[in-house]
Amino acid sequence: GENVEQHPSTLSVQEGDSAVIKCTYSDSASNYFPWYKQELGKRPQLIIDIRSNVGEKKDQRIAVTLNKTAKHFSLHITETQPEDSAVYFCAAIGGGYQKVTFGTGTKLQVIP
């Protein structure tokens, strides 16, 4: 089955700096990669996603890049703000299955 590894597990950045979270996946048939943000005590919420036929996608301060050859994808947050502090999860889906495999999460702390 699919295996998704996510790094780092914790990340502290100064407000205004950039943050990068990386995930690798094992199943080359996976073709959809969402990112979720989970604030303390709340449910995960989708923040951005990318399909396998796209190399990069941006939404304001958030971007995701995908390298299919290397089987890894990354979340980039620029100009970080304290409200970006949360746990971020990557996931991989596809390959003819409807299983969803999540990474283990990255706790991001943005220091004012």
Q: How far is CA 3 from CA 23, 66, 67, 92, 104, in A?
A: 10, 16, 16, 9, 10
Minimum separation from the CB atom of position 84 to another protein (A):
19
DSSP, residue by residue, 12-23: EEETTS-EEEEE
For another protein, the closer CB: 80 or 106: 106
Minimum separation from the CB atom of position 65 to another protein (A):
18
Q: How far, in Å, CA of 34 to CA of 36, rounded?
A: 7
Minimum separation from the CB atom of position 14 to another protein (A):
26
Minimum separation from the CB atom of position 89 to another protein (A):
6
For another protein, the closer CB: 31 or 78: 31
Give me the residues that bind another protein (CB under 8 A), please.
Answer: 1, 6, 9, 31-32, 34, 43-46, 49, 51, 89, 91, 93-94, 98-105
**Secondary structure class of 95 (helix, strand, coil):** coil
For another protein, the closer CB: 86 or 91: 91
